[in-house]
Amino acid sequence: MAPHREEDAAVNVKGSAHRDADEEALQAALQESLEPDFMAEILQSEDQQRRQDEARASIAQLQLGTTLNDAESEEKPREQDSGDEDDDAGPCVHASRAVEAKTVEDEADEEDPNEEHTLLNFADILLIDILKWLDEDTIGVCTCTCKRLLQVARSEVLFEALCRRIFPVQNPRAAAAAARNKFGLRRFPTWFDMFHERPRVRYNGFYWLKVSYYKKPELSMWTDIVPGTILKCIYYRYFSFQRDGTVLYGMLFKPPHEVESHIRNQRKGVYRGRFYVDKDDLVVTVPTNCNEVNFRLKITQRERGKNVKLVLKEHFANSEPDGSGWVNDYDTADEEFYYYRSWNL
């Protein structure tokens, strides 16, 4: 009987051990099931975040659509009121209009320093009569001083007076037409266009040309020049046109910034001649002490400055001061005379 009892006891011990292991495994499974699943929580939070982003995007689109609809509904009646506005202006139109309105208000608020000036309060016809007494360059300076004179100086009456003063003196055909009281616009639409487009020579200054060449010096026992030396010779030609139809001509060694008083006082080397303009050709004839020099030049019309450059086309001289005798022709290479303003001439 004893062996059977021992076997039963062993069987009971094994069965209890199996039950204990099963219970521990069950408890471990229960405990694991009770612990939080971090991966699931992460996925769930990402899903929620994605849904929130989609909801926000849809709300923003709805708000944008509502704003555009409101803007279109506001623009439609405005476009109906002013049908000539630009369709591509967009929302910037309101800002630009506000800026323009503010600028206009600021300009209106600015005080004109010349508002109380006695001269500028004259009638236009009186100001035009005053400007007629000035030369064309001085009138141009006056127009830069204030808006009032700029507006008055645009008058056709003033430009007609300038044209009748300048062109009959420079052009023989215009002088003949003016003598017959037939000097008019002809091919120019306005007097302003004639003044700016018709070729003429300018006053209040002179045209100058720099001439340079090289030569060998004449050696003698009284010179200390080293043999083989080459000399560079420089001189200048000047034309100063006057309002009476004459021209002052000089061939001098002085540069342009030093020659004003020399030309004005007609010192040594300065001679008085005559000139005329035919279309864009300028003909100059100057009698000197020993001969008579003649020039034919072309008046250029450039965008940056009109009538400020003369191109030498022909140059010759008669052997006698009265224009008789033989003729000496000189080579030319389209040398250019440039205008130099001088209020002292």
Nearest one of 302, 297, 300, 308 to 332, comparing CA atoms: 297
- Kindly tell me if the per-residue pLDDT of 71 is higher than 80: no
Residue 252 has pLDDT above 70, yes or no: yes
Q: Can you give the pLDDT at residue 31?
A: 61
Within a 10 A sphere around the Cβ of 149, how many other Cβ atoms? 20
Question: What is the pLDDT, as a whole number, of residue 73?
Answer: 57
What is the tens place of the pLDDT at every residue in 272-308? Answer: 999 999 999 999 999 999 999 999 999 998 767 789 9
Provide the residue count of the chain: 345
* 210 DSSP β-pair partners: 236
pLDDT at 36 over 80: no
CB 172 within 8 A of CB 277: no
Cα-based distances in Å from 336 to 170, 210, 313, 331: 21, 9, 10, 14
Average pLDDT, the chain: 81
Task: Mark out the alpha helices in 207-259 (DSSP H runs).
Answer: none
Ranked by mean pLDDT, the top range of 42-51, 86-95, 167-176 is 167-176
More confident residue, 106 or 189: 189
- Best CA proximity match to 313, nearest among 291, 293, 336: 336
Rounded Cα–Cα distance for residues 208 and 222 (Å):
35
pLDDT tens for 223-247 read: 788 888 889 999 999 999 999 999 9
User: How sure is the predictor about 207, in pLDDT bands with cuts at 50, 70 and 90?
Assistant: very high
What pLDDT band is residue 56 in, cutting at 50, 70 and 90?
confident
Dihedral of alpha carbons 262, 266, 270, 274, sign: positive
Q: Does the pLDDT value for residue 316 go beyond 90?
A: yes
List all residues 6 or more positions away from 164 whose beta carbon is below 8 Å from its beta carbon: 178, 183
Residue 55, burial from CB neighbour count under 10 angstroms (0-12, 13-18, 19+)? exposed
Predicted confidence at residue 17, as pLDDT, reads 58
Check residue 277 and give its pLDDT.
Answer: 97
Band of the pLDDT at 80, cuts 50, 70, 90?
A: very low
Q: Which DSSP string corresponds to 102-137?
A: HHHHHHHHSPPTTTT-TGGGS-HHHHHHHHHTS-HH
Please list, residue by residue across 60-87, b when 16 or more beta carbons sit within 10 angstroms of its beta carbon and e when fewer do.
eeeeeeeeeeeeeeebeeeeeeeeeeee
Task: Give the rounded percent of residues in the chain with a pLDDT score beyond 90.
Answer: 50
